Amino acid sequence: MIRRKRSVTIKHVAADAGVSFQTVSRVINNESGVRPEMKQRVQASIDKLGYVPSIAAQRMGGSRSYLIIALNDRERTIADWRARQGADWVDQMLLGGMLKCHEYGYRMIIELVDTHSDHIERELAAAIASLQPDGVILTPPHSSNPLITGLLAEHHISFARIGSLDPGPGFALTMDDERAARLATDHLVELGHRRIGFIAGPEEYELSMWRVDGWKAAMARAGLAIDGLLGGGDFSLASGAVAATALLSGTDPVTAIIASNDQMALGTLEAARALGIAIPHDLSLISFDDTPIVRVTHPPLAAIVQPIAEVAARSVELIIAERAGKAAPGEPIVVPASLVLRNSTAPAPARD
């Protein structure tokens, strides 16, 4: 019979070091008031026994839970998972957030909440009561929802608001979406395009309007008109196809399109093929997000790279720093996006 190896607990460390398990807990939590020689003795026992502190052991040291919750939009996340569309917002958030949490001995949990639900406060209050998180990361559109931010502030929970610059509590972080849209537009202008269409996301996302503002600003700086060049979508492939079809039809169609996310860019690809329009010969196309799928389309798409992992990591750092009593930054944190060029843009086609 194979015997399972006994796991090392905080009590084993305490016995080996000859101290109470409360003292071990205080060392694990890096609390003040523990003599240096005592810390060394406890740490030596931890190293010798190969002890890995659990969240339960860390919680014994005080009010911290060592948990950070990341709230994501339930409806859209589940729809993406079921469609297996390759959208990796959640993956990138986990990459940045979980790895940064690990550095500080924290854990991160993803919770899905429907921002349109009549029970949103009850759902969030239940999650807070059961998990007692040290902090919460809000992603769009939750980061702009006053019910959510108000509830977190009321419970004195540190939180980061990704993609929102609304006034109020919490740390505001952006990926400089307005500048990103300008980068994409400027690139197309440099290629000689004059009819540059833009497919925007839903207005409930603050970043959708920031991207529109960046496109408008770049077009104005280039002295180009925008009448009839703005299409709207809901971040779905189908909405992108509908908006692109409208922009590509008529007597003076666009020669370039910027889509506000990858799914709408894929819809633009479908619309262009249905109309017999070749990319990039007849139409240049730039997307937002740079999820894996746009790198294997035909042609691979130029895209604005959203630094989601970096923003999630920074959010974790801000929450933990505030819990440690460090002063919060007074201004929004900007983690800039970048433009990666592939084979979907080319000089504007000559027209008769």
Class of domain 67-175+308-335: alpha beta
CA distance 316 to 9: 27
Question: Tokens in use for 324?
Answer: 């440690």
Please, are residues 284 and 344 in contact by the beta-carbon 8 Å criterion?
Answer: yes
- In angstroms, the CA 274 to CA 108 distance is 44
**What value does the mean pLDDT take over residues 77-89?**
73
Identify the pLDDT of residue 1: 41
CATH 3.40.50.2300 placement within the chain:
67-175+308-335, 177-305
- Residue with token string 């589940």: 78
- Within 10 angstroms of residue 122's Cβ, the number of other Cβ atoms is 10
Going by pLDDT thresholds of 50, 70 and 90, the confidence category of residue 29 is: low
pLDDT by residue (tens digit) across 165-186? Answer: 888 889 999 999 999 999 999 9
Q: How confident is the model at residue 5 (pLDDT cuts 50, 70, 90)?
A: very low
Give the separation between CA 238 and CA 270, rounded to whole angstroms.
9
CATH 1.10.260.40, the chain: domain bounds:
10-59
Separation in Å, CA 282 to CA 91, 238, 240, 304: 34, 22, 18, 21
Q: In what order do the strands lie in the sheet with 196-200?
A: 230-232, 196-200, 256-259, 284-289, 302-305, 338-340
Q: What is the pLDDT of residue 3?
A: 42
For 22-29, what is the mean pLDDT?
Answer: 75
Apex CA 93: angle with CA 90 and CA 99, to 5°? 130
Q: Which CATH superfamily, name and number, covers 177-305?
A: Response regulator (3.40.50.2300)
* Range scoring the smallest mean pLDDT among 145-149, 179-183, 279-283: 145-149
Q: Cα(164)–Cα(145) distance, rounded to whole angstroms?
A: 10
The answer, yes or no, to whether residue 212 has pLDDT greater than 90, is: yes
Higher pLDDT, 14 or 25: 14
Q: What is the 3-state secondary structure (H, E, C) of 227-296?
A: CCCEEECCCCHHHHHHHHHHHHCCCCCCCEEEECCHHHHHHHHHHHHHCCCCCCCCCEEEEEECCHHHHC
Mean pLDDT, the chain, whole residue set: 87
Pairwise CA distance, residues 341 & 280, whole Å: 12
Nearest residue to 170 via CA among 154, 185, 182: 154
What percent of the chain shows pLDDT beyond 70? 91
Question: How is domain 10-59 classified at the CATH fold level?
Answer: 434 Repressor (Amino-terminal Domain) (1.10.260)
- pLDDT tens, 239-260? 999 999 999 998 899 999 999 9
